[in-house]
Structure 1
Amino acid sequence: MKVISERRDFLAANAGKRAPMPGFVLLVRPRGDGDDTMRVGFTVTKKIGNAVVRNRMKRRLRALVRDVLPERGIIGADHILIGRAGGIERQFNVLHDELVKALKKVMPR
């Protein structure tokens, strides 16, 4: 799994499938470049809170991805997690279940 850091990749993922959940929004876009690597990116805006709160949210999202994506992620796709204000207060197991549900929602048929 590789981390996305370039703005153009985040903007490209915005054209993919979207699964809004109470704690975050998941964007998934298959790259179609023949590379089977799953890539992941994280975004938490200043609307969520100060730097401490935003970093805490990003840490929670990274832990979620480590738990769920290796076995349920979409091969060869970019996964973007956008943190929402409700994500800080939510229990980790609830966020885990929401990510599994969101991945089922955007899974290619």
Structure 2
Amino acid sequence: MDPSLSVIRKRSDFLAANRGMRNAKPGFVLLTRPNDGQGKRYGITVTKKIGNAVVRNRMKRRFRELLWAALPEAGLADHDHILIGREGGVERDFAKMREELAAALARASKGEGDRARRPRHKRSPRK
């Protein structure tokens, strides 16, 4: 692991990154957002929708290796990088995922991202 990388652990940082740029690929979604000079940081999210604990942990290990290899050279300086696991990401070929991450980072560095997501539903007012 590169010492210039740090891990995002606070929920507020994950929520802030969710308002950033989004690049979706078949095995994951990459979120990038400037972090006000805190260096290259990364975070990983894999929800219970993906599978049981064994499957989720395997996916997180794969994502960690991908990020450690790609971020030192291709990561955006002073940005947060969040990988969100998608269905089927565990079965995807590792080399293919490496190429997809490189493509997503290249798009993010150009300022290109997917269109913003619409909210799924409106919350009812609290009583």
TM-score of the superposition, structure 1-length normalised?
A: 0.94
Question: 1:41-60 maps to which residues of 2 (within 5 A)?
Answer: 41-60=43-62
The residue that corresponds to 1:29 in the other structure is 33
Q: Residue 63 of structure 1: CA displacement?
A: 0.4
Q: Percent identity?
A: 59
Q: Residue 104 of structure 1: CA displacement?
A: 1.1
Stretches of 4+ moved more than 4 A in 1?
A: none
The residue that corresponds to 1:105 in the other structure is 107
Q: Structure 1: any 5+ residue segments left out of the alignment?
A: none
Query: Which structure: greater helix fraction?
Result: 1
What do residues 24-46 of structure 1 show as CA deviations (whole Å, max 9, x unaligned)? 00000012x233x1000000000
The answer on 1:7 being equivalent to 2:14 is no
Secondary structure of 2:66's match? helix
Query: Which of the pair has more CA radius of gyration?
Result: 2
RMSD over aligned CA atoms reads: 0.9
**Matched residues, number:** 107
What do residues 74-99 of structure 1 show as CA deviations (whole Å, max 9, x unaligned)? 01000000011121111100000000
Secondary structure of 1:87's match? coil
